[in-house]
Chain A
Amino acid sequence: GDSVTQMEGPVTLSEEAFLTINCTYTATGYPSLFWYVQYPGEGLQLLLKATKADDKGSNKGFEATYRKETTSFHLEKGSVQVSDSAVYFCALSENTGNQFYFGTGTSLTVIP
């Protein structure tokens, strides 16, 4: 069945450091891929998405490229800020079916 595996946390970085959070997936069809972010005390919100192979999703300085050959969708940011401290979830959705499949979440803390 479908599943998502993401890098375990927690991750602690200094401000302006480079961020990578790894995500790989298993899917039976041709899924869309997503990164959701959960800031403290809030619900999950969509950060970026890619709907087909080689697409790059980007938002707020974050990027992720849909790599079909390596079944990956790694999240990157060149220079993190304290305000990026949150939990990040990788997810996939098949084009048929009714559900998202989420990873376990990676907690990021950025220190000044």
Chain B
Amino acid sequence: NAGVMQNPRHLVRRRGQEARLRCSPMKGHSHVYWYRQLPEEGLKFMVYLQKENIIDESGMPKERFSAEFPKEGPSILRIQQVVRGDSAAYFCASSPFPIPNTGELFFGEGSRLTVL
């Protein structure tokens, strides 16, 4: 039973380029969460999605960031026109139920974005 799969593990972009991070949740999980970890900081919530729906995007920056979880395929976190401050580790997590019901998230290994 494969775990949460994220790719790429490492991504290097120049300022102004686009970054796309992909996340395939565990089999049977329909709830996906994206977190960002900036250097020397804890994980910060970005967005919570179910299949084809954004449930909570209160942690997403208002500009340049978007997320989707289509009916088929992985969840995508997209960052347009990247800046150096976007350099961070981006973690995806999935669960079979919403957080209040189970209290457990299953995490991927993270995608580390470096903006030159």
Contacts and interface: CB of A to CB of B under 8 A. Distances in A.
Interface stretch (B64-72, B75-83, B98-106): B98-106
Interface string B38-74: 0011111100100000011001000000000000000
A61 interface: no
Interface string A85-97: 0000100011111
B98 A98 contact: yes
B42 A103 contact: yes
Contacts, number: 64
Nearest to A36: B107
Contact of A49 (B40, B93, B98, B104): B104
B65 to A, nearest CB: 16
Given A44-B91, A95-B100, A100 B107 contact: no
A93 B33 contact: no
Interface of B: 3-4, 33, 35, 40-45, 48, 55-56, 59, 91, 93, 98-100, 103-110
Interface of A: 4, 32, 34, 36, 41-46, 49, 51, 89, 93-105
B46 to A, nearest CB: 9
A34 B40 CA distance: 20
A104 B104 contact: no
Q: Considering the complex of A and B, which 6 residue pairs feature the smallest CB-CB distances, nearest first?
A: A43-B107, A99-B45, A44-B107, A102-B43, A102-B42, A98-B56
Contacts of A51: 103
Given A89-B42, A96-B100, A99-B45, 19 more contacts: A36-B107, A42-B109, A43-B4, A43-B109, A43-B110, A46-B104, A93-B103, A97-B99, A97-B100, A98-B98, A99-B48, A99-B56, A99-B59, A100-B99, A101-B45, A102-B43, A104-B40, A104-B41, A104-B42
A46 B102 CA distance: 12
Contacts of A32: 103
